[in-house]
Amino acid sequence: MQEKETVEIKIEVPKTPGIYEIGDIVVVRGDEYIKKIASALSSSTRLSILRFLRDREANVGDVAELISQSKANASAQIRILESAGLVKSTYEPGKRGVKKISKTNVRKIVLLID
């Protein structure tokens, strides 16, 4: 028998289309915004990155190691998640210039297809 989990979410969201972050929940309303989020989530690599960043802040090198790709590829994947509003990044001084530190607090994504 498959394990089950009950998830109940009661939140107030604007009626206008958009992507709204409410605590650890991202609420998406409107076709254009749903497509943007769905596109960002359509890659198993980006899903891995999102899960990894749930529990920690990480730099691009850490993410590259996780996904076994170059830093350039990891950075490109992070940019896609950033543009969808699922990841936030800051820049900190590094050994050679600045390093990008990424994180997320997203635990749930709700798509409203009304």
Domains of the chain: 35-103 (1.10.10.10)
Band of residue 7 on the pLDDT scale cut at 50, 70, 90: confident
Cα end-to-end distance, the chain, whole Å = 33
Looking at residue 75, its pLDDT comes to 95
Band of residue 99 on the pLDDT scale cut at 50, 70, 90: confident
Structure confidence by residue, pLDDT tens digits, 62-87? 999 999 999 999 999 999 999 999 99
Looking at residue 86, its pLDDT comes to 97
Residues in the chain: 114
Give the percent of the chain with pLDDT over 70. Answer: 100
Tell whether the model's pLDDT for residue 93 goes beyond 90: no
d(CA 62, CA 19): 28
Closest CA to 108 of 9, 5, 3: 9
**Rounded-to-10 torsion of CA 62, 64, 66, 69:** -160
d(CA 26, CA 22): 6
Looking at residue 107, its pLDDT comes to 94
For residue 101, the cross-strand partners are 59, 90
Structure confidence by residue, pLDDT tens digits, 27-56? 999 999 999 999 999 999 999 999 999 989
